[in-house]
Amino acid sequence: MPEIPIVENILDANDQLAARIRIEFDSAGLLALNLMASPGGGKTSVILKTIEALKDDVRIGVIDGDVVPLDLEKIAEMGIPVSLINTGGNCHLDANMVYSALPSLDLNALDLLIIENVGNLICPAAFSLGVHYDVVIASVPEGDDKPYKYPAMFKGADVLLLNKMDLEDYMGFRVDYFRHGVEVLNPGLTFFPISCRTGDGFDAWLDWLRTAIKAYSNGQETTP
Ligand SMILES: Nc1nc2c(ncn2[C@@H]2O[C@H](COP(=O)(O)OP(=O)(O)O)[C@@H](O)[C@H]2O)c(=O)[nH]1
Ligand SMILES: [Mg+2]
């Protein structure tokens, strides 16, 4: 069965490069996040709202994997350094793409780097990017069965945001059923129900983020 070792080699090479990327992040003293969700789940909205809340005391950079720079333009308008990885229709980012994007950002001038992955709940889960935390965003309109249908994504997550909580009642979303599916795959996963529309739940997410930024800051000054 020659095909199986070939796939393993590709993933192994990706992991090796991801380890090199992690060294770059650590020596720059920044916290790096890989944000994953379905298309429209709220990745860009979470990034924009997080920037809005933290930009006065945290130096933030964003890498976006997309075919068009529409989302990135909104982020750049906030005065945030950004880098676009044109995925050319690829269904995920990999370590090679992220590594190629690093020289376009001054990592030493950042406290937080957010990578917006391609909108997809399957492929991104298989490719490590060297970040400190894989953050998965699920959203209420997608339905409460997502952990049952896309187990790899939820199993591999370090943090889970459940976005669009403002739509919970309209959608008949069963938070308990959703959480049970997650708990079986990834017991004790850090979980924040949020709404980018109303801002509900954001304080807890931002508190978690500030603590994580401090933990990875290398003791460097985090204020610009
Ligand atoms: N009702 C509601 N809509 C939201 C919320 N967050 C994002 N959206 C909307 O969902 C759509 C997709 O959001 P976007 O951030 O572009 O998702 P992305 O494709 O994952 O980057 C946009 O129309 C947003 O305005 C939320 O909390 N509540
Ligand atoms: Mg987006």
What pLDDT is recorded for position 46? 98
Q: How far is the CA of 30 from the centre of ligand 1 (A)?
A: 27
Q: Best substitution site from 34, 36, 44, 45 to test ligand 1's pocket, by max atoms within 8 Å of Cβ? A: 45
What pLDDT is recorded for position 7? 62
Decide whether any atom of ligand 1 lies within 6 Å of the 219 Cβ: no
Neighbours of 143 (CB within 10 A): 16
Percent residues over pLDDT 90 in the chain: 85
Decide whether any atom of ligand 1 lies within 6 Å of the 14 Cβ: no
Q: If you average pLDDT over residues 19-25, what whole number do you get?
A: 97
What pLDDT is recorded for position 221? 45
Closest CA to ligand 1's atom 26:
164
Decide whether any atom of ligand 1 lies within 6 Å of the 171 Cβ: no
- Structural domains of the chain, ranges and CATH numbers in brackets: 3-214 (3.40.50.300)
Q: CA-to-CA distance for 162 and 176, rounded, in angstroms? A: 12
Check if the beta carbon of residue 117 is closer than 8 Å to that of residue 42.
Answer: no
Is a pLDDT exceeding 50 seen at residue 223?
A: no
Question: pTM of the predicted model, to two decimals?
Answer: 0.93
**Tens digit of pLDDT for each residue in 134-165?**
999 999 999 999 999 999 999 999 999 999 99
Neighbours of 153 (CB within 10 A): 26
Q: CA-to-CA distance for 81 and 62, rounded, in angstroms? A: 7
Is a pLDDT exceeding 80 seen at residue 67?
A: no
User: How many Cα atoms sit within 13 Å of 63 on the Cβ side?
Assistant: 29
**Tens digit of pLDDT for each residue in 179-221?**
999 999 999 999 999 999 999 999 999 999 999 999 999 765 4
Longest Cα–Cα distance in the chain: 55
Q: If you average pLDDT over residues 4-24, what whole number do you get?
A: 84
Q: How far is the CA of 40 from the centre of ligand 2 (A)?
A: 7
Q: How far is the CA of 42 from the centre of ligand 1 (A)?
A: 4
Strand, helix or coil for residue 20:
helix
Compare 72 and 145 and report the one with higher pLDDT. Answer: 145
What pLDDT is recorded for position 108? 97
In this prediction, residue 3 has a pLDDT band, given cuts at 50, 70 and 90, of: low
Place of tokens 């880098």: 83
What pLDDT is recorded for position 86? 86
Q: How far is the CA of 41 from the centre of ligand 1 (A)?
A: 6
Q: How far is CA 180 from CA 176, 190, 209, in A?
A: 6, 14, 25
Decide whether any atom of ligand 1 lies within 6 Å of the 193 Cβ: no
* Range with the largest mean pLDDT of 61-70, 88-97, 107-116: 107-116
Q: CA-to-CA distance for 122 and 92, rounded, in angstroms? A: 9
What pLDDT is recorded for position 69? 79
Q: Per-residue b/e over 64-96, b at no fewer than 16 CB within 10 Å?
A: bbbeeeebbebbeeeebbbbbbebeeeebbbbe
Q: CA-to-CA distance for 218 and 209, rounded, in angstroms? A: 16
Q: Per-residue b/e over 190-205, b at no fewer than 16 CB within 10 Å?
A: bbbbbbbeeeebbeeb
